[in-house]
Structure 1
Amino acid sequence: MTELFNACEYLLDRRVEAGDGDRVALVGPSGELTYGRLHERVMRLAAVLRGLGLQPEQRLVMFMADRPDFVTVYLAAMRVGAVPVPVSTMLHADGLADLLRDSRARFLAVTPEFAQTASRAAADAPELRAVLAADGATVAAGVASHDLDALVADAAPDPAVYPTTADSPAFWLYTSGTTGTAKGAMHRHGSVRVVCETYGARVLGIRREDRCLSAAKAFFAYGLGNSVLFPLAVGAASVLEPAAAKPELMAERVRAHGVTLFFAGPTFFANMLRAELPGDALAGVRLAASAGESLPAALYQRWTGRFGVDILDGIGMTEMLHIFLSNREGDVRPGTTGTAVPGYDLKILDDADDPVPDGTPGTLYVRGDSTATGYWSRYAASRQVFRGEWLRTGDTYVRDADGYYTCLGRSGDMLKASGIWVSPAEVEGRLLAHPAVAQAVVVAASDTDGLDKPVAYVVLTA
């Protein structure tokens, strides 16, 4: 008989059963939430979702800021066997509507910051049945809109957990990593345990005394691991910041909440240097992690020299859920992405799909148990990326004789700027829509920190 496994139970019930009910789980704008209170709130919301008719494997799109209710909705949806789909809060209404239609979402959860955009998008999503308005959001969606706080307050906790297995669909994350077209990467319940017990435990060494703060938002796979999966898996605390990450704001949150693990990307680390924060701004932080784009050696040296905190640069993908190649504490080689995270295998192949010797560039492939099962309704794209047990990253890498990997760039047409995929064709299309632009081309160019940024060259009509 297949063993039952539910990611919500793994992240939450397990902690309460271990005696962590009184420990702080989440720190948000309104204060702290213990594991016990979070558990009760999740059970109440699970009862609400069942009562509203959300069925197992139906999608619930999350258009939400990094607040405690993001975590509550994410966990409660998985608890009832449904599929939460956190999406980028940078989307405009038409982009959100596209994802609502593509996912065939029945429910949409929204926080106040994005209520207006959600209202416009929901009107163009015919399969949407209900909106959950969190933290006092007001959504005029043309479908039933429910005050999440009021519903949860009136509901009785329901301890039932839908009988999922490790291979059951748990959540989706949309990515445009290889083509510029958004694709829903479908993750299993078991993938949560995999990333927590590989990168979380064996690279970060996360422990229950830690407090985590991520500049990357939780709708990113990177941010989801940083702010939700890793801390909850061990009984640590997550500091959630709904506002856009700014260096001064992050430094203040570090100081105010005793943050010990800080997560960001190279562009944000560079911005922290430019903000001229004092050298003790990150006092108490024992480790920083970087992902989203390669961390140049010079930037690493400047940042660690200023703040005295080591950065573990790594690479992950939405399709792999989190980081699978990383430097290690006490074993950082600046300018490289380190070595394979325990539990993952890597290989570099040439254009003929043959292995290359050390020192020869090629396309990086990864194998591990956190791999998504594929892209939702994208057969051709899935075939291109998911190659049996292996996943084709699309990144060009070289491995040295000591087994350390260095990123040389992308194999395809996409650019990565500030950790976000950018389609040159899409940017060119927007430029060409202006009546003054006759021709446009967008390329990548390095800035003064050694980070790639999109640069546009245009020919005017007159």
Structure 2
Amino acid sequence: MPEVFNATDYLVDRHLREGGGARTALVTPTRSLTYEELSREVRRVAAGLRALGVRPEERVLMCMVDDVELFTAVLAAFHIGAVAVPASTMLTGAELGQLIADSRCRALLGSAEFAPVVRAALRQAPEVRHTVLTGDDSSGLPPHVRGHTWRQLPAADADDGPYATWPDSPALWLYTSGTTGKPKAAMHRHINIKYVAENYGQRVLGIGPEDRCLSVAKLFFAYGIGNSLFFPLAAGATALLEPSRPSPALFAKRAAGDRATILFGTPSFFGPLLAGADIPDDAFGTVRLGVSAGEALPARMYEGMLQRYGVEVLDGIGSTEMLHIFVSNRTGRVRPGSSGTPVPGYAVELRDAEGQLVEGEGTPGELYVRGESAATGYWCRAATSRQVFLGDWVRTGDTYVRNADCTYTCMGRTNDLLKAGGIWVSPAEVEERLLAHPDVAEVAVVGVPDADGLDKPVACVVPRPGREVDADALVAWCREGLASFKRPRGVIGLAELPRTPTGKIRRNVLRDMARDGSWAEAP
């Protein structure tokens, strides 16, 4: 028989056995739980899920804000051997219904804030039997669903302890769709949680019991669930959860008020944070380290965070398929604009379109990664799984180059590269130049075919507050800092960039927008 390994026992109950039960595990704007109190609440929720009839390896889908209920629900699912499926809170009822039907879950947990979305989703989910909502109202559900409030969650007489899961037992599904395509669930094992917590959380970030982790990314992201749950709990540290939508002012207040020591963000957060004149320069005085992922962090944002707030931000690349970051910069050894070097326990390669190794510095290739935290595949997506999971290796879909110092720099998604004048152009390189302009807050560069079918780079720009988009000035700015063929041939001003429910830029939407010809080609 395989050895027994349960992720909740590793993340929570282990600390009680080691004498750490009195340490603070979780802090929200309204509550604080020690490890002992967290263990008690997890067992209560676990007993309730068992009483609802949830069995080992059955899926429990969660559409919930980042608060105590979602935190304990994920751990409770692990505890009873079920599969936690945290879903994006930005989905419509129809989109959530698709995930419910795809996962074939029989129990759905939701926050009161999303009750209308949950009710709409359940109309196309005949297999769901129980829905548990926070708040006081569980009415209005379809006849085939029995509704409960969180306080009414049925509790068994006694908790039998963690289910005897194995390292390879299924623990977590995370839905991903990239920037296009239908959602697909990457399936992760119990042991994957230990791998990412120890190889990245502890060996790269050095997280220890005194750390307090604050994350912009929510728990339904692979990035967010690592930042706010796996990493702090594995180290006996403290998770700082924020239920509200992140904003620079809110997170500056939380970081200062709750003495955050590690700030996990994204470029789309750090950009507005640096542009915010009303944020005190000492707002992040307790933060010893920043982390960025999701998109490549421009060098100017790294330098800006260091100069203004005194926070060194480690950029890295991770993926839902690998559960968290597998290439990262290191403290004191950051190469601005790069993703750094492989995390301990991981190996990477660059390959060409035929799958052959790309040799030499500066030669673009698709990034492949190997590591023990890889998902076992996509749920019921055999053809797609065979394209992505190739033996020990996983195709990332990102184009990278290896630098002379063995760091790796992102050139963009493999299918986002474009040719201008017959020469390959990386959107990421043009975007980095534009982000250095004082008028630009966010930007995405896409390729749009002209009348002859030739791609032309078009920049979709969100200006900084109080600034305007001056197309001629931005094109001239690029001419000064880039080879002429890389310059945008057009500029579109936008109030915001369209994003997927997981926060990635929807470049397909921008390409469609640019194709309508509403921009004038610049010389």
Identify whether the pair has TM-score above 0.5, normalized to the shorter chain.
Answer: yes
CA distance in 2, matches of 1:108, 1:116: 14
Deviates more, 1:274-283 or 1:371-380: 274-283
Given residue 309 of structure 2, which amino acid in structure 1 is its aligned partner? F
For the Cα contact (< 8 Å) 1:362–1:396, is it kept in 2?
yes
Given residue 367 of structure 2, which amino acid in structure 1 is its aligned partner? L
CA distance in 1, matches of 2:170, 2:323: 14
CA distance in 2, matches of 1:390, 1:332: 26
CA positional deviation for 1:137: 5.6
CA distance in 2, matches of 1:17, 1:54: 28
- Counterpart of 2:414 (choices 411, 415, 419) is 411
1:260-284 per-residue CA deviation (whole Å, 9 max, x = no partner) reads 1110101100010112212101010
The yes-or-no answer on 1:457 pairing with 2:514 is yes
Task: State the partner residue of 2:181.
Answer: 180
For the Cα contact (< 8 Å) 2:340–2:408, is it kept in 1?
yes
Cα distance change of structure 1 residues 252 and 137 upon mapping to structure 2, 3 Å threshold: farther
CA positional deviation for 1:447: 5.9
1:277-317 per-residue CA deviation (whole Å, 9 max, x = no partner) reads 12101010000100000001122112211101100000000
Deviates more, 1:40-49 or 1:142-151: 142-151
CA distance in 1, matches of 2:4, 2:393: 26
- Counterpart of 1:361 (choices 343, 351, 364) is 364
For the Cα contact (< 8 Å) 1:93–1:120, is it kept in 2?
yes
The yes-or-no answer on 1:284 pairing with 2:286 is yes
1:130-184 per-residue CA deviation (whole Å, 9 max, x = no partner) reads 11112546453221111222336x6545142211101011010000127521000
The yes-or-no answer on 1:272 pairing with 2:310 is no
For the Cα contact (< 8 Å) 1:45–1:155, is it kept in 2?
no
Matches within 5 A, 1:11-410: 11-136=11-136, 138=138, 140-142=140-142, 143-151=145-153, 155-177=156-178, 179-276=180-277, 277-357=279-359, 358-410=361-413
Cα distance change of structure 1 residues 374 and 160 upon mapping to structure 2, 3 Å threshold: same
For the Cα contact (< 8 Å) 1:110–1:137, is it kept in 2?
no
Q: Secondary structure at the match of 1:116?
A: helix
Given residue 189 of structure 1, which amino acid in structure 2 is its aligned partner? H
Task: State the partner residue of 1:432.
Answer: none
Q: Output the TM-score relative to the length of structure 2.
A: 0.80
Q: Secondary structure at the match of 1:46?
A: helix
For the Cα contact (< 8 Å) 2:41–2:72, is it kept in 1?
yes
Q: Secondary structure at the match of 2:77?
A: helix
CA distance in 2, matches of 1:87, 1:336: 30
Matches within 5 A, 1:418-457: 445=460, 454=507, 455=510, 456-457=513-514
Cα distance change of structure 1 residues 63 and 126 upon mapping to structure 2, 3 Å threshold: same
CA distance in 1, matches of 2:251, 2:160: 36
Q: Secondary structure at the match of 1:198?
A: helix
Cα distance change of structure 1 residues 387 and 48 upon mapping to structure 2, 3 Å threshold: same
CA positional deviation for 1:445: 4.3
Greater relative CO (CA pairs within 8 A, separation 6+): 1
Task: State the partner residue of 2:469.
Answer: none
Cα distance change of structure 1 residues 275 and 136 upon mapping to structure 2, 3 Å threshold: farther
CA distance in 1, matches of 2:459, 2:95: 24
CA distance in 2, matches of 1:75, 1:157: 17
Q: Output the TM-score relative to the length of structure 1.
A: 0.90
CA distance in 1, matches of 2:139, 2:380: 29
CA distance in 1, matches of 2:44, 2:7: 17
For the Cα contact (< 8 Å) 1:324–1:344, is it kept in 2?
yes
Given residue 169 of structure 1, which amino acid in structure 2 is its aligned partner? P
1:116-140 per-residue CA deviation (whole Å, 9 max, x = no partner) reads 1111111210111111112546453
CA distance in 1, matches of 2:242, 2:137: 17
For the Cα contact (< 8 Å) 1:446–1:453, is it kept in 2?
no
For the Cα contact (< 8 Å) 2:274–2:301, is it kept in 1?
no
CA distance in 1, matches of 2:16, 2:460: 50
Q: Secondary structure at the match of 2:55?
A: coil
CA distance in 2, matches of 1:443, 1:244: 30
CA positional deviation for 1:443: 6.9
Given residue 304 of structure 1, which amino acid in structure 2 is its aligned partner? L
Given residue 312 of structure 2, which amino acid in structure 1 is its aligned partner? D
CA distance in 1, matches of 2:115, 2:459: 34
Query: May I ask how many residue pairs the two structures share in their alignment?
Result: 439
For the Cα contact (< 8 Å) 1:171–1:186, is it kept in 2?
yes
CA distance in 2, matches of 1:135, 1:209: 33
